[in-house]
Structure 1
Amino acid sequence: MMNSFGIAHTNMPNPRLVRGFVVLCLVIFTLCSPVASANPDPELAALLKKTVNQASSFEDKYDAEVWLVDMSQRLSRFVKDPKERLTMLRQVHRLATAHDLQPSLVLAVMEVESHFDRFAVSRVGAQGVMQVMPFWKNEIGRPEDNLTDIETNITYGVTILKHYLDREKGRWPEALARYNGSYGSYRYSTKVMDAWQKRWK
């Protein structure tokens, strides 16, 4: 069907325009919401732009913007600093994707393990956002690595998690139990899957 200008008419909106509009709304909501500040923070806006441009694990910039802004809102209950949130999310997405893991599931693991506290230490000595045991540093010949560094910790964590997932042939409950050192029990696995379903999926 043609309109008066001879252009084909369709009732279906352009998907790219729709995504662009959604991104714009999300960015405005995030930067202007009372949770952040009364006025848009130009420094944060610049950081978001930089983060999106550096997010090479995304297929396009719109996907990066939508995911980062959406997940930043969800993560705000755990990490108050918006700059820290965006940096953490970009690293999670990049490192999880590189290991063929869903970033949302890695976020669920981080929530259950440490509530995103980079300085968390368990009663058995596991450290950081993904609660990595320090002995791994010596095992791979990198004793100088700092497990309180978020990127380092996530790199170790996703590598270990992917190893156990492959070992269990894609069975998440078993892989998560091995990651937690509680193989034979599904209590930890259930916690992670619940967090994933409720907050990150």
Structure 2
Amino acid sequence: MLLLAQSAQAGPSQEAVIRLQVASLDANVADTVRQSAVMNDEKRQWIEQTDRALVIQMAENKALAERLHNQRLRRELLQTIHYEAKRAGLEPDLVLSVIRVESNFRKYAISSAGARGYMQVMPFWADIVGERSTDLFNVRTNLRLGCAILRAYLDQEKGNLSRALARYNGSLGSATYPNYIYASWIK
């Protein structure tokens, strides 16, 4: 994570991209209205399929079942994941895999390095975009920022997903983290 902080602070163009991508964080109300109003077939199908897959996984994983037991909240989370992933130009399944690997769906997860929430966003990113670090536990803020960061790294790496994922994790040069994400994605 220290590498992530150093690389993020070293690249002002990267910061600018992320600022642009999260500039509308304050438009949460408008986004919520738009998000709930637009439920196309692709989105509905993804939510239904993913929800069924999570229910199966919950049967095998007690901790996951405790976190995701409420169907309404689980579907709201999936709807937000889909929305924020698409908003950033990412595949929702990729974002879901990052969440599974980073926090295993623990909303209030804090890593030993201080990364927070579902997508394990470092607090310095909140400072860069003008948010409070406590907002990183807000589902929308965490997912929007996490997706924006991943998108910026994907752009920086010219579409090389393995390198972008390694940057996201602060482990550029190692295939371990991207391989965890790919394994989760297949699951």
Which TM-score applies when normalising by structure 1? 0.67
Report the counterpart of residue 36 of structure 2 in structure 1.
54
SS at match of 1:146: helix
Q: Which has the larger radius of gyration?
A: 1
Q: After superposition, give the CA deviation of every residue in 1:132-187 in whole Å (9 maximum; x if it has no partner).
A: 00111112222265111111100110000000000011111100000000011010
Task: Find out whether 1:64 has 2:46 as its counterpart.
Answer: no
**CA-atom RMSD, angstroms?**
1.8
| Distance (Å, rounded) in 2 between the aligned partners of 1:70 and 1:55 | 20
Question: Residue 68 of structure 1 aligns to which amino acid in structure 2?
Answer: I
Task: Find out whether 1:75 has 2:54 as its counterpart.
Answer: yes
Task: Find out whether 1:124 has 2:113 as its counterpart.
Answer: yes
Provide structure 2 residue ranges, at least 5 long, that are not aligned to the other structure.
1-32, 59-63
Aligned length, in residue pairs:
144
Report the counterpart of residue 149 of structure 1 in structure 2.
138
Task: Find out whether 1:163 has 2:145 as its counterpart.
Answer: no
| Distance (Å, rounded) in 2 between the aligned partners of 1:120 and 1:143 | 17
Greater percentage in helix: 2
Residues 1:107 and 1:144: Cα distance change in structure 2 (over 3 Å): closer
Q: Spell out the pairing of 1:68-147 with structure 2 (5 A cutoff).
A: 68-76=47-55, 77=58, 78=64, 79-143=68-132, 146-147=135-136
The structural deviation recorded for 1:84 is: 1.4
Report the counterpart of residue 196 of structure 1 in structure 2.
185
Task: Find out whether 1:182 has 2:164 as its counterpart.
Answer: no
| Distance (Å, rounded) in 2 between the aligned partners of 1:165 and 1:135 | 20
Provide structure 1 residue ranges, at least 5 long, that are not aligned to the other structure.
1-50
Identical positions, percent: 38
| Distance (Å, rounded) in 1 between the aligned partners of 2:142 and 2:49 | 23
Residues 1:69 and 1:55: Cα distance change in structure 2 (over 3 Å): farther
